[in-house]
Amino acid sequence: MSEMTARISSRINELTREFNIITHNLANASTVGYKRRCNAFSKLLAAEGVGTGAEAAGKGDSKVSFDFSQGGLVGTGRSLDFALCGKGFFVVETPDGPLYTRNGLFRLDRNGQIVNSAGRIISGESGPVVVPPNVSLTQISVSGDGSVNANGEALGKFRLVDFGDNEDKLVAAGASCFRTLQGVTPKAAENLVVKQGFKETSNVQLVEELVDMVMVSRLYEANMKFILVKRDTSKSLMSVAMA
């Protein structure tokens, strides 16, 4: 395989990867708290004027990152639905360590602990937030700083964290959750507001994703065409040589 053909094959693999990222974003356009995945490989190729494989090198940077920008807020009216405004995350406790999420659709487990939809405990500053059995959901009120109260009695406070400049070191853990790489620790979130009775929608912009999909598809087709032309040319040369 020639150097040029190897380069184009690598390009095709990266474009396929980016296409899969776009389809994943589109599939999660309605997922609460979802943060879109980003891959700028096709934009880098386009900026370099790379269309067919015969042009510029177009090495690009295929690193996948996350767009943690704020999603929209939608009112639900549920006492245990929460949206976060600003930078930061809820903390979800798991046997393998904490996870971090913007998905604030919670419920109570049979012990009265506030948990997420998967039944994992939502961390409070002093342990799980427990709602007594004699307290109805409509009596629960949560203030902007995450303090949970019922009938004037403090029940606990959500642990809210932020990663500052290390946000790009978060890794997807499924179900709109993230985990950290070793050595990365969060700090207490500042300027983060909890809104009760709301949910944060996905920050996926459908039109932008579809435009990106068209660009990736065109670049993929152009590079595939180059590979096919090179293959046909090689076959023709071999036929001439063997004649």
DSSP, residue by residue, 89-108: EEEE--TT--EEES-EE-EE
pLDDT > 90? residue 45: no
Give the pLDDT of residue 123.
98
pLDDT tens string 190-215: 999 999 999 999 999 999 999 999 99
Give the tokens for residue 102.
């913007």
Higher pLDDT, 220 or 48: 220
Give the tokens for residue 145.
């700083």
The residue ranges of every structural domain in the chain are 3-68+203-242, 73-200
pLDDT tens string 60-115: 455 789 999 999 999 999 999 999 999 999 999 999 999 999 999 999 999 999 99
Evaluate whether 39 touches 67 at the Cβ level (below 8 Å): no
One-letter identity of residue 184: V
Which residues are CB-contacts of 123 (< 8 A; sequence separation ≥ 6)?
Answer: 90, 91, 92, 93, 98, 158, 159
* Distance of alpha carbon 102 from alpha carbon 117, whole angstroms: 13
Higher pLDDT, 125 or 239: 125
pLDDT tens string 156-200: 999 999 999 999 999 999 999 999 988 899 999 999 999 999 999
- 34 to 55, 94, 103, 146: CA distances (angstroms): 37, 19, 8, 21
pLDDT > 60? residue 1: no
pTM strictly above 0.75:
yes
Nearest to 128 by CA among 92, 171, 153: 92
